Structure 1
Amino acid sequence: MPSKSSARLAALTVAAVCSAASTIVLTSPAHADSVRIHDIQGTTRISPYAGKQVTDVTGIVTGIRTYGSSRGFWIQDPDADDDAATSEGIFVFTSSTPKGVAVGDAVSVSGTVSEFVPGGTSSGNQSITEITKPVFTVVSSGNPVPAATVVDARSVPAAYTPAGDAAANGSINGLTLRPSTYALDYYESLEGMNVQVSDARVVTATDRFAELWVTVKPWENRNRRGGTVYGSYTSQNTGRLQIQSLGAASAFPAANVGDTLAGTTTGPLDYTRFGGYTLVASTLGTVESGGLARETTRKQKNGELAVATYNVENLDPSDTTFDDHAAAIVNNLKSPDIVSLEEIQDNNGATDDGTVAADLTMQKLIDAIVAAGGPAYDWRSIDPVDKVDGGQPGGNIRQVFLFNPKRVSFTDRAGGDATTAAGVTRKGGKAALTVSPGRIDPANAAWDDSRKPLVGEFAFRGRTVFVIANHFASKGGDQALHAQYQPPVRSSETQRHLQATAVNAFVKDILATQKNAAVVTLGDINDFEFSDTTKLLEDGGVLWSAIKSLPKSERYSYDYQGNSQVLDQILVSPSIRRGCDFEYDSVHINAEFHDQISDHDPQVLRFKP
Structure 2
Amino acid sequence: MPSKSSARLAALTVAAVCSAASTVVLTSPAHADSVRIHDIQGTTRISPYAGQQVTDVTGIVTGVRTYGSSKGFWMQDPNPDADPATSEGVFVFTSSTPKVAVGDALTVSGTVSEYVPGGTSTGNQAVTEITKPVITVVSSGNAVPAATVVSARSVPSAYAPAGDTAANGSVNALPLRPSRYALDYYESLEGMNVQVADARVVTATDPYTELWVTVKPYENRDRRGGTVYGSYDSQNTGRLQIQSLGSTAAFPVANVGDTLTGTTTGPLDYNQFGGYTLVANQIGTLKSAGLERETTEKQKRGELAVATYNVENLDPADATFEEHAAAIVHNLQSPDIVSLEEIQDDNGATNDGTVAADRTVTKLIDAIVAAGGPKYAYRSIDPVNNADGGEPGGNIRQVFLFNPERVSFTDRAGGDATTAVGVTRDHGKAALTLSPGRIDPANAAWTSSRKPLAGEFVFRGRTVFVIANHFNSKGGDQGLTAQYQPPARSSETQRHQQAALVNGFVKDILDTQKNADVIALGDINDFEFSDTAKVLEGDGELWSAIKSLPKSERYTYDYQGNSQVLDQILVSPSIRRGCDFEYDSVHINSEFHDQISDHDPQVLRFQP
Please tell me the TM-score bracket, short chain as reference.
Answer: over 0.9
Deviations 1:567-589 (A, max 9, x none): 00000000000110100000000
Could you tell me whether the CA contact under 8 Å between 2:590 and 2:597 is conserved in 1?
yes
Cα distance, 1:68 vs structure 2 = 2.4
Q: Cα offset for 1:69?
A: 2.8
TM-score normalised according to structure 2 size: 0.95
**CA-to-partner distance for each residue in 1:356-414, whole Å, 9 max, x for gaps?**
00000001000000000000000000000000000000000000000100000000000
Secondary structure class of the residue paired with 2:574: helix
Provide the C-alpha distance between the structure 1 equivalents of 2:261 and 2:100, rounded to a whole number of angstroms: 30
Q: Which runs of 5+ in 1 are unaligned?
A: 1-20, 28-32
Q: Structure 2 CA distance, aligned partners of 1:271 and 1:95?
A: 18
Instruction: Give CA-to-partner distance per residue, 1:326-367, whole Å, 9 cap, x none.
Output: 000000000000000000000000000000000000010000
Q: Distance in 2 between matches of 1:512 and 1:69?
A: 60
Deviations 1:145-166 (A, max 9, x none): 0000000011000100000000
2:28 and 2:50 in contact (8 A); partners too: no
Alignment deviations for residues 484-527 of structure 1 (CA, whole Å, 9 cap, x no partner): 00000000000000000000000000001100000000000000
Q: Is the 8 A contact 1:161 1:182 kept in 2?
A: yes
Q: Equivalent residue for 2:238?
A: 239
Q: Could you tell me how far 1:298 is from its partner in structure 2? A: 0.6
Per the alignment, residue 248 of structure 1 pairs with 247
SS in 2 for 1:343: strand
The share of aligned pairs that are identical, in percent, is 82
Alignment of 1:47 onto 2:47: yes
Deviation at 1:250, TM superposition (A): 2.2
For 2:330, what is the secondary structure of its paired residue?
helix
Partners of 2:603 and 2:578 lie apart in 1 by: 17
Q: Any conservation in 2 of the 1:26–1:55 contact (CA below 8 Å)?
A: no
Trace 1:275-424 onto structure 2 (pairs within 5 A).
275-424=274-423
Instruction: Tell me which amino acid in the other structure corresponds to 1:77.
Output: D
Q: Give the conservation status (yes or no) of the 8 Å contact 1:113–1:129.
A: yes
Question: Is 2:495 the partner of 1:496?
Answer: yes
Corresponding residue number in structure 2 for 1:267: 266
The question of whether the paired residues in 2 share the 8 Å contact of 1:61 and 1:106 is answered with yes
Determine the structure 2 residue equivalent to 1:585: 584
Task: Tell me what 2:90 maps to.
Answer: 90
**What CA distance in whole angstroms lies between the structure 1 residues aligned with 2:28 and 2:447?**
51
Distance in 2 between the 1:564 and 1:439 partners?
31
SS at match of 2:538: helix
* Alignment partners' CA distance in 1, 2:28 and 2:379: 68
3-state SS, counterpart of residue 503 of structure 1: helix
Q: Is the 8 A contact 2:28 2:49 kept in 1?
A: no
Match of 2:117 in 1: 118
In structure 2, the partner of 1:530 is 529
Structure with greater Cα Rg: 1
| Partner-residue secondary structure (3-state), 2:151 | coil
SS at structure 2 position matched to 1:540: coil
Equivalent pair of 1:586/1:601 in contact (CA under 8 Å) = yes
Distance (Å, rounded) in 2 between the aligned partners of 1:518 and 1:578: 11
Q: C-alpha distance in 2, partners of 1:442/1:352? A: 22
Tell me the amino acid that sits aligned with residue 350 of structure 2.
T
Deviation at 1:22, TM superposition (A): 7.0
- Correspondence for 2:60: 60
Q: Partner amino acid for 1:395? A: G
Write the distance in 2 (CA, Å) between the matches of 1:423 and 1:266: 60
RMSD: 1.1
C-alpha distance after superposition, 1:232-260 (max 9, x if no partner) = 00111101000000012222110000000
C-alpha contact 1:349 1:394 (8 A) present in aligned 2: yes
Cα distance change, pair 534–22 in 1 and its aligned pair in 2 (3 A)? closer
Whole-angstrom distance in 2 between the partners of 1:226 and 1:375: 34
The answer to whether residue 147 in structure 2 is matched with residue 151 in structure 1 is: no
Deviation at 1:25, TM superposition (A): 6.2
Kept in 2: contact 1:69–1:95 (CA 8 A): yes
Q: 2:594 maps to what in 1?
A: 595
How far 1:538 moved relative to its partner?
0.6
Contact 1:24 / 1:53 at 8 angstroms: preserved in 2?
Answer: no
Distance 1:70 1:492 in 2: 30
Whether 1:76 aligns to 2:72 is no
In 2, Cα distance between equivalents of 1:420 and 1:235: 43
SS class of match (1:81)? coil
Cα distance in 1 for residues equivalent to 2:582 and 2:67: 49
Alpha-carbon distance in structure 2 between the residues aligned to 1:235 and 1:71: 36
Structure 1 CA distance for aligned equivalents of residues 390 and 433 of structure 2: 28
* Corresponding residue of 1:427: 426
What residue identity is the alignment partner of 2:472?
A
For 1:591 and 1:305, the matched residues in 2 are separated by 26
Tell me how many residue pairs correspond in the alignment.
583
CA–CA distance in 1 between the matches of 2:421 and 2:151?
Answer: 55
**8 A Cα contact 1:23 1:53, kept in partner:** no
CA distance in 1 between partners of 2:402 and 2:249 (Å): 41
1:71-119 Cα distance to aligned partner (Å, 9 max, x none): 1000000000000000000000011221x21110001101100000001
Q: Which runs of 4+ in 1 moved over 4 A?
A: 21-27
Residues 23 and 484 from structure 1, CA distance in 2 versus in 1: closer, same or farther, beyond 3 angstroms? Answer: closer
Q: Corresponding residue for 1:7?
A: none
1:221 aligns with 2:220: yes
Hey, what's the Cα distance between the residues in 1 that align with 2:248 and 2:437? 46
Residue 195 of structure 1 aligns to a residue whose secondary structure is: strand
Between the aligned partners of 1:302 and 1:404, the Cα distance in structure 2 is 13
1:414–1:435 CA contact under 8 A, matched in 2: yes
Q: 1:453-487 CA deviation, whole Å, 9 max, x = no partner?
A: 00000000000000000000000000011100000
Matched, 1:505 2:504: yes
Checking the alignment, whether the CA contact within 8 Å between 1:412 and 1:436 is kept in structure 2 is: yes
Equivalent pair of 2:387/2:447 in contact (CA under 8 Å): yes
Which amino acid is the alignment partner of residue 405 of structure 1? P
Q: Match of 1:90, as an amino acid?
A: V
Cα contact 1:24–1:54 (8 A) shared by 2: no
Match of 1:103 in 2: 102
Over residues 268-309 of structure 1, what are the superposed CA-to-partner deviations in whole Å (9 max), with x where a residue is unaligned? Answer: 000010110000000011110011110000100000000000
Q: Does the 8 Å contact 2:558/2:591 carry over to 1?
A: yes
SS in 2 for 1:402: strand
Who is 2:472 aligned against? 473
Amino acid in the other structure paired with 1:343: E
Please report how far the alpha carbon of residue 26 of structure 1 lies from its aligned counterpart in structure 2 after TM superposition.
5.0
Partner Cα distance (2:466, 2:478) in 1: 33
Summarize the alignment of residues 154-169 of structure 1 with structure 2, pairs less than 5 Å apart: 154-169=153-168
Q: Partners of 1:417 and 1:567 in 2: how far apart?
A: 27
SS at match of 2:58: strand
Q: Are 2:109 and 2:135, in contact at CA under 8 Å, matched by a contact in 1?
A: yes
How far 1:23 sits from its partner (Å)?
Answer: 8.1
